[in-house]
Amino acid sequence: MKNVIALIAGMFFGGGLIISGMTNTAKVQGWLDVFGAWDPTLAFVMGGAMIPMALAWAYSRGRTPLTGGSFPARPDPKLGRNLVVGSIMFGMGWGLAGLCPGPAIASLGFGGASLWIFIAAMLVGMLAAPKVRNAMDRVVPAE
Amino acid sequence: MQIDWIYGLIGGLLIGTGGAIYLLGNGRIMGASGIIGGLVDGSGRSTAMERIIFLAGVFITPLIVLQFMDRSETNITNNIMQLVIAGLLVGVGTRIANGCTSGHGVCGMSRLSIRGFVATVFYILAGGLTMAILRHVLGWI
């Protein structure tokens, strides 16, 4: 059952990403390009996506997931170095190629070799992340 | 241009519906970097099948949509250096920040998570600054 739900959720996610145009890196870079031909599409995608999600969070209160277990607890609201530095690094990469992880997977099937190169580098980056975090710990402690 | 906003909104609603299904069904946050990252570093081994199937859905559906809609344009660069640096930054950054546009952005902000808002502000600022410098100052991209 969990696998069926994962497939349906993934299909909605992938379908939404391509229909919204987020697999087109020019639209993502256009959103970030405030000093050029600014493209507001991404704000509509974000806003649209937050509507069903906000309803789902509201509905989840006092309930349990369909397949059992429990809903993810609210994270500790601490805003450490990792959140800020990690997000800045991610944002730089996002702007540089116009891709974030979801749309990269969604366009992997039709985007050609460039997408595979980006994904390979992203996976290496994910593997290297703990090492980078340790290196940062030696310079600036996390908290 | 106007039609793009409508497609953006429809696509966004579909993305959010996917996140809602994943949350209410499996009790999990639909964050692309976390789902992939857990497979890469082994931290998500116990839920590996669910993650792989989710990603398969993300991969396959666009290929179906392409049969009905002209959406094959990616405008992705073929500069290998640019792709590698961008990929490394996205990989390292999303794991250190513990989320990306889907996890912190869509799922986090919709539950009014302060971490989601802060992450989103910083990655949009960093992305905007990167674009401003590389496109308008240096003229590289």
pLDDT in tens, A26-42: 999 999 999 999 999 99
**How far lies B114's CA from each of A76, A133, B104, B119, in Å?**
10, 22, 10, 9
pLDDT in tens, A57-105: 999 999 999 999 999 998 888 889 999 999 999 999 999 999 999 999 9
Question: Which residues of chain B are within 8 Å of residue A99 when distances are taken between CB atoms?
Answer: 76, 86, 90
Which sequence spans correspond to the domains of chain A? 2-139
Tell me if chain A has a CB within 8 Å of the CB of B68: no
- In a 3-state reduction of DSSP, which class is residue B23? helix
pLDDT in tens, B51-106: 999 999 999 999 999 999 999 999 999 999 999 999 999 999 999 999 999 999 99
Tell me if chain B has a CB within 8 Å of the CB of A81: no
Residue A13 · residue B18 · CB < 8 Å: yes
pLDDT of A140 strictly over 90: no
